[in-house]
């Protein structure tokens, strides 16, 4: 069946990128007003080198990460070694504004703020354009046609090549796409062994507990039907299924961490690879975004694409993490 969506890409440009993406939220020295130091730049350099050496070429930013400092640290590395840019697919997000003297923390898809944000991102990253720009969180005050005009102008001006969204459901994506000639090619959603509503939504249809599912039905299917790359943030579940999880007071976490350990020994890979392989096994072609600054964990995560879990192993992880049997 052919899609009826406007300007659906025949193939997604991210299909040529690495199966794992690196999320840069941890760079820049923390969520504070301290300046970026040489130590922070060195950390970014080591992270970039480790990621690239491990086959990870997608780097995910947002203008708010560590109060702009993540992009500053990363951009300082690119300024020092411009040739690194040729090996990278760089994306960044905008649309979130912090609390200030005029208003509380809020979202802003106005043409003025989007343009201001994109220009700031490019300046901090020391790059002429982004490979992809993403809208970070839905703005209830979005003016559809104003936003579409702004995005298409920035694209025409060479500020970014591809457009994505983050934390949006299928209805929001379709609404935005209705005004755009530029196709939406990615959607970032929180997905992990610990955040399972994206799966529970499908298996609980017509069963008790469906009302408590925090996920909009049809979003996965919409993305698959329209060649929209799903990117998973929070995918390592903050390391709860590594060694520390074995000592958790939560029985579900303990049991899942033990299962992950057993599978890691069976497949001869670190636990991070098993946790990510769970996402990669799903037919939605999920691209996990890891956020660790631990170099060993980056290397461990990069091994995930080499692991193919059996149906039985995948379901064992799913059911164990849920904490109770499927209906």
> Residue-wise pLDDT tens for the chain (327 aa)?
334 456 666 678 888 899 999 999 999 999 999 999 999 999 999 999 999 999 999 999 999 999 999 999 999 999 999 999 999 999 999 999 999 999 999 999 999 999 999 999 999 999 999 999 999 999 999 999 999 999 999 999 999 999 999 999 999 999 999 999 999 999 999 999 999 999 999 998 888 777 788 899 999 999 999 999 999 999 999 999 998 899 999 999 999 999 999 999 999 999 999 999 999 999 999 999 999 999 999 999 999 999 999 999 999 999 999 999 999
Percent of the chain as helix, strand, coil, to the nearest 5: 45, 15, 40
Residue 154 Ramachandran class (φ > 0 left, ψ -120 to 50 alpha, else beta): alpha
Q: Which domains does the chain have, with CATH numbers?
A: 13-237+284-292 (3.20.20.100)
Q: What is the DSSP track for 42-98?
A: HHHHHHHHHHHHTT--EEEEETTGGGGHHHHHHHHHHHH-GGGGGG-EEEEEE-EE-
Q: Round to whole Å and give the CA distance between 30 and 273.
A: 26
CB 30 within 8 Å of CB 315 = no
To the nearest 10°, report the CA torsion of 229, 232, 233, 236: -150
At 6 the pLDDT is 61
Q: Round to whole Å and give the CA distance between 33 and 141.
A: 29
At 140 the pLDDT is 97
The pTM is what?
A: 0.95
H or E element at residue 38:
helix 38-53
């Amino acid at each position: 069946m052919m899609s009826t969506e406007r300007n659906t890409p025949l193939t997604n440009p991210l299909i040529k990128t690495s199966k794992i993406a690196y999320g840069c939220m941890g760079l820049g020295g923390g969520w504070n007003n301290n300046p970026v130091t040489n130590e922070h730049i060195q950390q970014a350099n080591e992270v970039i080198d480790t990621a690239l050496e491990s086959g990870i070429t997608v780097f995910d930013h947002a203008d708010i990460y560590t109060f702009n400092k993540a992009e500053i640290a990363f951009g300082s590395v690119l300024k020092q070694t411009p040739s690194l840019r040729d090996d990278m697919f760089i994306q960044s997000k905008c649309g979130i504004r912090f609390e200030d003297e005029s208003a509380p923390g809020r979202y802003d898809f106005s043409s003025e703020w989007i343009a201001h944000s994109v220009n700031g991102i490019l300046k901090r990253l020391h790059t002429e354009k982004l490979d992809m720009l993403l809208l970070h969180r839905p703005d209830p005050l979005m003016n559809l046609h104003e936003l579409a005009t702004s995005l298409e102008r920035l694209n025409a001006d060479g500020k970014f090549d591809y457009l994505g969204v983050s934390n949006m459901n299928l209805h929001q994506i379709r609404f935005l796409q209705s005004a755009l000639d530029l196709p939406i090619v990615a959607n970032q959603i929180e997905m992990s062994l610990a955040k399972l509503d994206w799966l529970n939504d499908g298996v609980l249809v017509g069963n008790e507990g469906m009302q408590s599912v925090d996920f909009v039905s049809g979003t996965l299917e919409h993305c698959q039907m329209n060649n929209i790359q799903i990117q998973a943030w929070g995918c390592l579940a903050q390391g709860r299924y590594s060694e520390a999880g074995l000592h958790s007071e939560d029985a579900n976490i303990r049991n899942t961490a033990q299962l992950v350990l057993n599978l890691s020994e069976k497949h001869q890979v670190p636990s991070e690879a098993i946790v990510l392989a769970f996402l990669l096994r799903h037919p939605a072609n999920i691209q996990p975004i890891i956020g660790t600054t631990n170099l060993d964990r980056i290397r461990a995560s990069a091994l995930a694409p080499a692991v193919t879990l059996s149906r039985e192993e995948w379901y064992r992880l799913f059911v164990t993490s849920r904490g109770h049997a499927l209906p």
